[in-house]
Structure 1
Amino acid sequence: MQNDNEIFEEIKHSPDLNPRTEFVNDTRHLLIKKANHIRKVSKIKKLSYYWSVVIASLAMIAWTSLFGGNQYIVKSYHNVMSAFPKNKEEILTASNKNPSVFIYHTHNRESFMPLLKTKDPIEAQDKTKNITLVGAELSSKLNEKNINALHSDTDFEQKLRNRKLDYSKSYDISREEVQRALDKNKDLKLIIDIHRDTIPKEESTVKIDGKNYAKVVFYVSKANKTYFAQSLNLAKTLNYELEKMNPGLSRGVILKDSPNTYNQDIFPELALIGVGGPENTLEEEYRTIEKIAEVIQKITNE
């Protein structure tokens, strides 16, 4: 029996073939017939795919509109999305185990004239470029000092608008987030609500070692009947340490007669801090934040 190589050599050296015209035509018609069959099968497959998509879409529409499938989809969506962090607070919760400091901003849109390039203090409000940048800086500085800190940049003002609530209800909205932070993180030792005050530049700024710093003030609500003594002691301690390390940086502790507790009634170590005013620069704010981080490190270690 001949092997493949022998057959190949025999064909290679065989004389040229001269097929009959009928054979060529028959072969051509056969190839055309097979090509048409292949195209027909391909077209049928495409039409089947198209109608499958159409039928599936119609079935989905009928299911969602007639049989309550939309509720299932919404529920499934929320279940999936709940597995992912929705905002910075939750991202930090996932990345920092056992946080000891939680930072947030009840009046989160308070901003700075130099940052927004405006000369009107009333216009020193912004959705993104605002006091939350200062809180983020404090969180970063604390984490650098091995103090686990959570920072929330939640837009509470937007939540007020969504619920059609007055601005005076800001603390009611931020209270919900403070409570969530407490529920999720059992090792919290300090909570800080950072604001920007409304005082002019000459009152909100101090020069230390040739550099401008935004001055700090600590507020304590008299309406807080639950933890008033602890809130006052915390404010006095922070103020004392800050002044001892940086004389003139603090404007002191101010007791407020407001009926609002500033959420100090739900946690004994909750400090409301005002840093600078509308005319301060972000650099001045950041310099002060570095000093506040040093104080927090000191009292945390103690």
Structure 2
Amino acid sequence: MAKRLKHSKKHKCKWIFKLGLLVAVCYLSFECTTYYILKSKLATTNEEFLNQMLRDSNHYLLYEKSEKNIISKMGKFLMDIDFSKPDTLLSMKQFSKSNKPEKTQVVYQEEEPKETGYIKNPVTEKNTEKTPRVYIYNSHQGENYSMKTLEPYNITPSVMMASYLLREHLNKAGIPTIVEETNINEYMKTKGWNHARSYDASREFVANTLKKYPDLELIIDLHRDALPHDTSTITIGEKNYAKVLFIIGLNNKAYESNLSLATTISDKINGKFPKLSRGIMKKQGATVNGRYNQDLNPNMILMEVGANENTIDEVQNTIEAIANIITEKLNGQ
């Protein structure tokens, strides 16, 4: 009787083990399949990623899902291998000394940025039929957003990416918009200028654009700030948004017109999205630029969208909101 009970328990344990093994194999097979399906859908360049974002604003979520996949986590934990980074497969570091994620590079206006901010125009077909009403440029093209979940794929969200997103939203709303596509950092190199002369460089492009399109209704120099995430982010409804700040240079004698325009847009933003705009910051004096090229046209504003710790989906949410406000403003609503 005792032998029979012992045999029965042993048989039951084997059955439980086999069942557990089968479940584990099925789970890993599912995770592996999911991982490679996700991987096949993920872009590996800024331009490809931006095109995907223009088609589907939720494309960013695929990278978060891929990051949480058990196959990717196992590789990183066991051998410091990230399967989306082929170079880690060669290094074969058995034990990682640190598993801390890389921090986003913080680029302040007085610092030299890494050459990662420039992004080619993702839209190859240019609409030359309509005269643009809005012109967007970036004096500091190297200002990046958070690379969380995107860094392994060589994707660097930047203010230039935000500019292209804003352009597409405005174009779809019937507001013809163009973005400055010149690589300003490369242009400064040809002139022997350092980063401190970024506004001098962008000034030349703004002046040339105004000669070609003197009736532009809005000119935006799009930047981002450098702040902690909780300071630069707000939750409205179920969405996280990157906060907006407007900069007006008081060294421009006719700054009142620029200030009035920025105030109107800021108030409209907060009217529909409370506290999304941080308001207006006025700057003047020897230690700052003080003009920001706003003396070239009364319809010019400098707009900071989010900060270095904001993710591109938070920026995208804000861009969509801003585009609606700008459309209403330019259409006299």
TM-score computed with the length of structure 2 as normaliser: 0.59
Q: Which sections of structure 1, spanning at least 5 residues, go unmatched?
A: 1-86, 119-125
Indicate if the aligned counterparts of 1:115 and 1:282 stay in contact, CA closer than 8 A.
Answer: no
The superposition leaves residues 58-102 of structure 1 with CA deviations (integer Å, 9 ceiling, x where unpaired) of: xxxxxxxxxxxxxxxxxxxxxxxxxxxxx859x787625211000
- Matches of 2:237 and 2:129 in 1, distance apart? 35
User: What is the aligned partner in structure 1 of residue 315 from structure 2?
Assistant: 285
Q: 1:131 aligns with which of 132, 135, 159?
A: 159
Aligned equivalent of 2:255:
228
The 5-angstrom pairing of residues 15-164 of structure 1 reads 88=121, 95-114=128-147, 129-164=157-192
Deviation at 1:114, TM superposition (A): 2.3
* Counterpart contact for 2:150–2:156, Cα < 8 Å: no
Distance 1:211 1:204 in 2: 14
Aligned to 2:240: 212
Cα distance between partner residues in 2 of 1:218 and 1:238: 9
Counterparts of residues 199-278 of structure 1 (less than 5 Å): 199-225=227-253, 227-257=254-284, 258-278=288-308
Conservation of the 8 A alpha-carbon contact between 2:142 and 2:158: yes
Preserved CA contact (<8 Å) 2:223 2:302: yes
Query: Matched residues in 2 for 1:184 and 1:242: separation?
Result: 30
Q: Which amino acid aligns with 1:261?
A: R
Please report how far the alpha carbon of residue 157 of structure 1 lies from its aligned counterpart in structure 2 after TM superposition.
1.8
**Structure 1 CA distance for aligned equivalents of residues 313 and 127 of structure 2:** 29
Deviating beyond 6 angstroms after TM superposition, the runs of 4 or more aligned structure 1 residues are: none
Q: Distance in 1 between matches of 2:289 and 2:184?
A: 20
Greater fraction of residues in helix: 1
Measure how far apart 1:161 and its partner are: 2.2
Give 1 or 2 for the bigger CA radius of gyration: 1
Percent same amino acid at aligned positions?
Answer: 35
Question: Which moved further from structure 2: 282-291 or 254-263?
Answer: 254-263
Distance (Å, rounded) in 2 between the aligned partners of 1:173 and 1:244: 35
Aligned counterparts of 1:88 and 1:242: Cα–Cα separation in 2? 28
Residue-pair matches, total: 208
User: What does residue 105 of structure 2 align with?
Assistant: none
Structure 1 residues 206 and 96, CA, compared in 2 at 3 Å: closer, same or farther? farther
One-letter amino acid of the structure 2 residue matched with residue 278 of structure 1:
N
Amino acid at match of 2:229: K
2:269·2:325 contact (CA, 8 Å) conserved in 1?
Answer: yes
TM-score, L = length of structure 1: 0.64
Tell me the amino acid that sits aligned with residue 152 of structure 1. E
Partners of 2:147 and 2:157 within 8 A in 1: no
Q: Could you tell me which runs of 5 or more consecutive residues in structure 2 were left unpaired when the two chains were aligned.
A: 1-119
